[in-house]
Amino acid sequence: MKRVSPAYSLKAYREALDEGRVTSRELVEACLEAALDREGEGAHVFTKVFESTARAEAEAADYLPVSAGLPLRGVPVTVKDLFDVEGQVTRAGSVVLNDAPPAASDAAVVRRLRDAGAVVVGRTNMTEFAFSGLGLNPHYGTPRTPYAREEGRISGGSSSGSAVSVSDGMAVAAVGSDTGGSIRIPAALCGLTGFKPTARRVSMQGVLPLSPSLDSIGPIAATVACCAAMDEVLSGETHALQQEDAAGLRLGVLQGYVLDGLESHVATSFDAALDALSHAGVKVSAVRFDALDEIPQCYRYGGIAAAESYAWHRELIARAGDRYDPRVLTRIVRGGEISDSEYRDLLDARRRIIAGAEKVFAMVDAWVMPTVPRVAPLVAELERSDEAYFDANGAMLRNTLVFNFLDACSLSMPCHRQGEAPVGLMLSARGDDDARLLQVSLAVERVLAEAGFAIQGQVSF
Active site residues: 80, 158, 182
| Consecutive H or E run containing 442 | helix 434-450
Closest CA to 328 of 93, 98, 97, 45: 93
| Sequence-ordered alpha helix ranges (H) in 37-104 | 42-45, 51-63
3-class SS of residue 76: strand
- Tell me the chain's radius of gyration from C-alpha atoms: 20
CA 458 – CA 359 distance, rounded (Å): 36
Minimal CA–CA distance to 393: which of 413, 372, 411, 409?
372
Q: Where are the beta strands (DSSP E) in 75-196?
A: 76-80, 119-124, 173-178, 193-196
| ∠ CA 454-400-110, rounded to 5° | 80
Q: φ and ψ at 365, to 5 degrees?
A: -80, -30
CA distance from start to end of the chain = 10
Closest of 27, 39, 19 to residue 2, by C-alpha: 27
Contact assessment for residue 188 and residue 371, using Cβ atoms and an 8 Å cutoff: yes
- Report yes or no: 359 and 129 within 8 Å, Cβ to Cβ: no
Distances (CA, A) of 104 to 42, 100, 121, 236: 27, 12, 20, 23
Rounded-to-integer distance, Cα 342 and Cα 331, Å: 17
- How far, in Å, CA of 152 to CA of 36, rounded? 20
C-alpha 213/C-alpha 215 separation (Å) is: 6
Helix 434-450 vs helix 224-235: crossing angle, to nearest 10:
160
- The three-state secondary structure class of 191 is coil
- Helix-strand-coil percent breakdown of the chain, rounded to 5? 45, 15, 40
